[in-house]
Chains A and B, each alone.
Chain A
C-alpha cells in the first residue's frame, strides 16, 4: 500500500518545442483509483511511463510512499504494469498462465503457488487453475490477465488502456470487475485511458490532461458539475456539454434572441469581456412552456428509454449552413418530445448554467 506523488514532474523529449508532461503535480492517495484521461498527445501515457521508470524525468520528482523513486530503475519500484494486450498460452495451465511473470522474477515455487492460489480465489478462478485456458470465455480470459498483475502483489498497479481492444459488451463488464477488484484489494491504481466514459465510471478521481498540462483533478461528479475550464467542460460528458458563445447583456448572456440568465456576481467577474461562453448540459434543458428560451431547430429526435435526445441547431441558421453549424443537444422527458423539423425553445435553471471566459477559457461562474 502506498501513496503516489508527482511533484513538478516534467518530461521534455529531445528536440520537442514543449514538454510532453509539464510540471505535473498530482497526489494519489493510498488505495485510490486514479484515472489519467485526455486526448492523444496529452501526456497521460508518458506520465504513466515516468511513474513506471521507463521514461526519464527531466525536472521534479516522483514519490511512491515516502520513497523518492525518481532515479530508481523500474524493477525496484514495486509496481505492476497491466498492458492492453495479453496472450493466454495454450500448453500452460491457467495457474501457470497467471504465475509465469513471478517465475521470471525468480520467486520460489511454493510462494508462486500460494500467490496464484490467492489471486484465483479472489477472481473466482480456483476451479480452473489446473486446466488449460482453451475453453475460457472472453471474461474469464480477462480475469486471468488481471490475475497476472495481482499475483505480483505490488504497491501500485499501472494500467495502460487495458480495455481498448475489447468489444463494447466485454468492455463494460470488465471495467466493472476491475473497479470492484481494485476496491477489494485496496491497491493504489493509476489507470490511463482516452475514453472519458471509462474514466468517469471507474475512477475515484479523474485527472484530465491536455498537451502535457494537468487541467483538473477531481471526483467524477465534481468534474461533471463544476469543470474548471472550457476544455474539461467539453471533454467530460457524453453527449457533450453545449458550449455557446454570446454577448454580455444586462442580466445575462445573449444567445440568439434570448438572454440566458447569469448572476450579477458572475458577470462582474467577466471584467471587460464583451462576449462569454455559456455551457449547458443536455439534461439541464427543459422545453419552454412560455415562448421564452433558446430557439432551436430540431433535426433529429432519438428516443432512449423514458427520455428523448434532441439534436438541432440554433434558430436562425440558414438551411445550407445547418450541416456545419454547431449542434445543440437536449435531453428531455419522452412524453413531451417534439417532432423532427420543429422549432422549439429550451430553458434551464440558472444554477445549471456554466459560464467561461472566452479569452482565458477559465470558469468564471461559481
Chain B
C-alpha cells in the first residue's frame, strides 16, 4: 500500500492510480501544460480545481526535495510548494514503483518555453534574464546552493511589465548556513552550461529569435548576477565627508527591491574612513510595504507600481498630511477594487488581479496619449476589459500555445521531443551487454568484497 507523507494532505490525491507507472496514467487525469524538460517522468494532474505536478523519482531524492521545498517556503523564497511524497508504491504484480513527489502547480506561471516563442522581444528576454538573476541571488543570500540552475527548473510570473522567477526543482539543492564564494561559482558554472544548452535547444527548434545570441545571453546572466551580488554584499569605503553614501547605498538597494535589515558601519581609528557593508538584506521591499498598507500580496514590481499609484492618489486627493494607512484603505476601496471588480468572472483566469490593475494603468496612459486628454480610471478599465483582456490567453493555467513547434511526440511530456517519425532505433551492443549482465547484478548497497579481490588478483 502506498504511504503518503504530507503536511496538509489533499485527500483527493489518495485515490489516484498509484499502482500504475506515471507514464501510463489515463489521460483523463492529466493536463497538458507547457513546461521545461526533465529527466524524470513528470505529469500535471488535475484534481477538482487544483492542478498538481507529480514527479517520479528515487526515494531519498523525493524526501530530500520535499523537505527543501518546505524550508524554502519557510524562508519566504519564491519556489513551488511541496505537497507530499508518496512512497511504497507497488504495481499490479507487486513490483515496486519509484516514489513520487507532489507539488502544487504555481498559478499564473509561465514556463520559459511558452515565453520564448518566435519574435520574442529582446526587451522581454532581458527581463527574464533579470528575473532569473534575482532568483539566483535570493537563493544564495539564504545559503541555498541550487546545484542545477536552469530555465527548465524555473517558472516565471508576470510582474508589472517584468517577471518574477520561481524555483521549481530543488532535487540537487543544499541549504547551508551561508554559501562560500566557491559554492556560488559552482552554481554559476552550472547556470552557464545549462542555459547555453537551453538557448541552443530553442534555437535548434526555431523558437529563438535570430537576433538573440545564446553566448551573449549567457554572459549577461553572469555579469548581471555579479553586479547584483556586489550591490547586495560588498564593502564600500569612503571618507567622512561623504556620509551621504550610506543613504545612497540603502536607496539603491531599495530600488532593487531589497530592504536593509542590518548595515555594518565601521570607521578607522581616526574616524576619517567609513566602511559600510550590508549584513542582512531582505528582498520584497515594496511587496512588504504594500502588504502592510493594503493587505495585497503581489510580486515586487507590481507592488512598486501599485505604490506609485497610491502616492499619485494621495497627491491627487490632497491628503499628503493624512495617515498613510487611511489613505491606502481609501485607495483600495475607491481605485483598486472597482477596477479589479470590473473584470467579469469568466475572464478572471486571464491574469492575476494586481497584473490586471497594472495593465489598466498602462492602457489608460495609452488611451490618454491617443485622445490627448486624461482618461478616468474606470473608463480605462472598461476599455481594457473590452478591447484587450478578452483576447489574452488564459494564464491561470497557461495552456499550450506552442502549435508552431509541431506536434509533441507526447503532449504530456515535452522532454520526449517532437513527433518526427524516426524509424526504429539502431542496434546498440552496450545495451545487449547490460541486459545479459542484469541477472547477476549485485544490489547497489552491498559491497562485494570477493569480486573486488578477484579483480585485484587479475590486475
Contacts and interface: CB of A to CB of B under 8 A. Distances in A.
Interface of A: 11, 13, 15, 46, 49-50, 54-56, 74, 81, 83-92, 96-97, 100-101, 103-104, 123-125, 127-128, 131-135, 137, 139-141, 143, 164-169, 171-173, 177, 196-198, 200-201, 219-221, 224, 237-238, 283
7 tightest A-B contacts by CB? A55-B182, A90-B417, A89-B201, A91-B205, A127-B426, A134-B417, A91-B204
Given A50-B182, A81-B189, 18 more contacts: A49-B186, A54-B182, A74-B189, A83-B148, A85-B171, A90-B205, A97-B197, A100-B200, A104-B193, A124-B428, A132-B422, A139-B430, A165-B39, A165-B61, A167-B98, A168-B443, A196-B447, A220-B456
A160 B29 CA distance: 38
Given A50-B182, A219-B456, A172 B429 contact: no
Determine the interface band of chain B, counting residues with CB < 8 A from chain A: 35 or more
Contacts of A172: 441-442, 444
Interface string B421-434: 01001111111001
Contacts of A196: 447
A92 B37 CA distance: 13
Given A55-B181, A104-B218, A221-B456, A90 B201 contact: yes
A239 B180 CA distance: 36
B152 interface: yes
B185 interface: yes
Nearest to B448: A201
A135 B181 CA distance: 39
Nearest to B424: A135
A47 B58 CA distance: 27
Interface stretch (B118-126, B281-289, B380-388, B408-416): B408-416
Contact of A139 (B57, B183, B434, B452): B434
Nearest to B147: A85
A13 B196 CA distance: 31
B446 A197 contact: yes
Contact of A221 (B182, B196, B430, B452): B452
Interface of B: 37-39, 57-58, 61, 98, 147-148, 150, 152, 171-172, 178, 180-183, 185-186, 189-190, 192-194, 196-198, 200-202, 204-205, 215, 218, 409, 414-418, 420, 422, 425-431, 434, 437-438, 441-449, 452-453, 456
A84 B183 CA distance: 15
B447 A200 contact: yes
Contact of B150 (A55, A87, A134, A143): A87
Nearest to B187: A54
A90 B415 contact: yes
